[in-house]
Amino acid sequence: MFTIAFVGAGSVEFTRQLLRDVLSFPELAGCTISLHDVDPERLEVAAGLARLTAGEGGARIRTSLSRREALEGADVVVNMVAIGGHEATMRDFDVPESFGLRQTIGDTLGIGGIFRGLRTFPFLDGLATDVLAVCPDAWLLNYTNPMAMNVQYLAAVAPRLKAVGLCHSVHWTVHDLSALVGVPHDEVDFLSAGVNHQAWILRWQHRGRDLYPALDAAIAADPGLARRVRVDLYRRLGFYPTETSEHSCEYVPWYLKHESEVERLRIPVRDYATISAENVATYEKTRDALAAGESLPPLEDEAVEYAPQVIHSLVTGRQRTIQVNVANHGLISNLPEGAAVEVPATLDRLGVHPHRVGALPRQLAAVNRSFLNVVELTVAAAVEGDPAHVRHAALCDPATAAALTVDQIDDLVAAMTAAHGDLLPAALRR
C-alpha cells in the first residue's frame, strides 16, 4: 500500500489540509500516513488531526519521533519543517530592524531568507541522507522556504534524490487574475516560468484570447489596484509576477528603502512576523480543542495544493500539469544552469517531468538573475563551508544593498550569525 511520510507534521493546520486533500481521492483512502516531528506535543496533535481527518476511511496513521523510522517504506516524503520555529523567525526580523533594514516576509530572499536557508540546510542534508538510505525511490516534495535555496542545495548535495519543490503561488495568481477579469479559471490557459516567488505569467488566454488587455482595463478602472507592488512591477516589466506584493517588494531594490514607496504601495512591513505569531496561536487553539474533545472549525472549501495531485498521479497515472521547482538543466535557457527554477511539469505514474520553456523575456531574466545570485552564494556558503560567501550573498541581495552600507551589511551578517548560533552549519558560525 502507498505510504506518505510527513516530515515536520507539527505544522498542524497545513498537515490537516494536505491530508484532507489526499484522502479526498478514493484511490488513496487506504494509504499509510506516517507522521514525524521532533516535538512530541506537536506530533501528538498532528496524529489527532490525522485520525480525525481520516475518519473511517481506512487510512492507517503511524507516528514516530525518529525520522528514519518514519521514512521506512515511504513512496512520497512531504517536507514542511520550519527550523527554529517562531523564535528564529522573530530574530530574522528583529536583528535586521535594529540596523534599519525593513522586511515584509523574510523567508525567501533578503537577510531573513539567507539565514532561514542556512539554518535549514543541515536538516536537509540529514533528510536527504535518510531518504537515500531508507526509501531511495521516494519522491521528496518540499514545501519549506526558502524554496529556491533549498531545492538548489538538495541538487548540489544529493543529486540522486528525486526532489521537487511545490508552491501554490502560481495557481492562486492565475485564479485571482481570472476572477478579476471575469473569466472562469478552469477555462484559462497560461504559461508561467521564472524562479519561486518571482515567476511570471508569460501567456494568459481564455479560448485563445489574450487576457492582458482585460487586466489593463481592470487596473485603469480601479486606481486602488495600482497601489500594489506586483501591479507596479507588471506595469514596468510587462508581465505579471506570480507572488504577492508582500513577497515581491523585498526581492528588488526599488521599494522598501523608500518611505514614500512604502506608503504609495501600502507595503505591510513585518507582515510575516504577525502571521507567524498567529500561526502559533492557531496551533495552541487546535491543541486545546483536541484535548478537550471539541470540534474544530472547518477548513476552507477551496484549497489547492500540489502534493496531493502529485501523489494521486503517481498512484493512478492520471496526467496533470502543475508548477514545480527543480534544478535548471536546459529548462530556461537564459537563467544559470543548475539554478533552482520554477516551470510547468507533467505528472503521471512515472513521476514529475519538467517542461523546457526556453528563454524568458530579457528584463525578466535580468531580475531573476539578481535573485539567483543570492541563492547561489548562500548555497555555496554551506556546500563549501565558506562564511565569506554569506557576506557576499548579503552584499548582492537587492533590498539589503539598497538600504545599508557595506560596513553595515558586514555587521548585520555578524549579528545574525551570533543570533542564530548553533542552528547554523558549524563552519559558518565564525
Binding residues for substrate: 145
Binding-site entries: 145, 167, 197
Output the CA angle 362-195-388, nearest 5 degrees.
Answer: 100
Binding-site entries for Mn(2+): 167, 197
DSSP for 217-283 reads: HHHHH-GGGGGSHHHHHHHHHSSEESS-HHHHGGGSSSSTT-HHHHHHTT--TTHHHHHHHHHHHHH
Cα–Cα distance list, 419 to 108, 187, 415 (Å): 19, 49, 6
Alpha-carbon span 211 to 283, nearest angstrom: 40
DSSP letter at 26 equals G
Alpha-carbon span 299 to 283, nearest angstrom: 14
Alpha-carbon span 247 to 336, nearest angstrom: 23
Residue in the structure block whose three cell numbers are 521506512: 72
**Cα Dmax for the chain:** 61
Catalytic hit among 168, 171, 175, 355: 168
Cα 8 from chain centroid (whole Å): 14
Output the CA angle 18-7-331, nearest 5 degrees.
Answer: 75
DSSP for 107-123 reads: SSSHHHHHHHHHHHHHH
179: CB partners within 8 A, 6+ apart? 185
Instruction: Please confirm, yes or no, whether 168 is among the known catalytic residues.
Output: yes
DSSP letter at 289 equals H
Q: Which three cell numbers stand for residue 91?
A: 530574530
**Catalytically annotated residues:** 168
